[in-house]
């Protein structure tokens, strides 16, 4: 089951990254610079948090699997 959790974390991170790509490309068409900056920062924060969580899961998988 631990490997399923590892694969799930990888897939979830890929989903977050894909959503971030879509959101960032759409920000290019928005004229409100404050909104663009705020949302861009939130996207970056969510990506960082997602990477951190995926890294935690990966370390645990590697610990168990060896």
Round to whole Å and give the CA distance between 17 and 52.
13
Give the span between the Cα atoms of 62 and 32, in whole angstroms.
44
Q: What per-residue confidence (pLDDT) applies to 37?
A: 98
pTM exceeding 0.75 = yes
Over the stretch 8-43, which tens digit does the pLDDT of each residue have?
999 999 999 999 999 999 999 999 999 999 999 999
Q: Where is 50: in which H helix or E strand?
A: helix 33-65
Q: Can you give the pLDDT at residue 20?
A: 98
Task: Kindly indicate the confidence band of residue 65, based on its pLDDT and cuts at 50, 70 and 90.
Answer: very high
Q: Residue ranges per domain, the chain?
A: 2-65
């Amino acid at each position: 089951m631990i490997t399923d959790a590892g694969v799930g974390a990888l897939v979830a991170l890929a989903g977050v990254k894909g959503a971030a790509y879509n959101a960032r490309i759409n920000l290019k068409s928005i004229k409100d610079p404050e909104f663009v900056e705020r949302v861009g920062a939130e996207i970056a924060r969510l990506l960082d948090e997602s990477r951190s969580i995926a890294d935690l899961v990966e370390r645990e998988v590697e610990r168990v699997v060896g």
